């Protein structure tokens, strides 16, 4: 069975996403900027994709950094991972943050992020007096690598 994602171009310049390889988990999102966009050192700029999506109920679109953009230019989503909910019908945008000490540019129609469509579990909350015990217990950050 083929999985379909309904996409609407909200801007005629928008590019339909593509997977970089046959086994890629994430598909590339493209900016619709017609000119270079400069992102100053340690600043964040909102880049439009010109796309709306109809993500299936029970799923979310998770927006991740593109590894090349992050490692070569130091640009990644400001919120680390963006979440596009199934009931959102507006334009998908990416808040790119410049993690470097130098101004960086986004080229016209450059690939700016990648999205993975993933299922999620909706839960009901139940307040309890105690949680079950585990071997780890309440040992937190950095505790799992110790013998």
What's residue 137's pLDDT?
A: 81
Count the neighbouring beta carbons within 10 Å of the beta carbon of residue 95: 15
**Which of 89, 80, 26 lies closest to 54, judged by CA?**
89
pTM for this predicted structure: 0.87
What's residue 29's pLDDT?
A: 97
What's residue 50's pLDDT?
A: 98
Mean pLDDT, contiguous 10-residue spans, the chain (147 residues):
88 96 95 96 97 96 94 93 96 96 96 96 94 84 66
**Which domains are present in the chain?**
6-119 (2.70.40.10)
What distance in Å separates the CA atoms of residue 92 and residue 82, rounded to the nearest whole number? Answer: 10
What's residue 1's pLDDT?
A: 47
What distance in Å separates the CA atoms of residue 113 and residue 70, rounded to the nearest whole number? Answer: 9
């Amino acid at each position: 069975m083929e999985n379909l994602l309904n996409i609407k171009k909200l801007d005629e310049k928008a590019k339909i996403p593509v997977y970089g390889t046959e086994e890629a988990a994430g598909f590339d999102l493209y900016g619709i900027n017609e000119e270079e966009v400069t992102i100053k050192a340690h600043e964040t700029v909102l880049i439009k994709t010109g796309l709306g999506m109809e993500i299936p109920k029970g799923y979310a679109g998770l927006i991740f950094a593109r590894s090349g953009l992050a490692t070569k230019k130091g640009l990644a989503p400001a919120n680390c991972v963006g979440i596009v909910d199934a009931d959102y019908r507006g334009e998908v945008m990416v808040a790119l943050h410049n993690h470097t000490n130098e101004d960086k540019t986004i080229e016209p129609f450059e690939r700016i992020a990648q999205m993975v469509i993933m299922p999620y579990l909706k839960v009901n909350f139940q307040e309890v007096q105690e949680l079950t015990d585990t071997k780890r217990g309440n040992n937190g950050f950095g505790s799992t690598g110790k013998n």
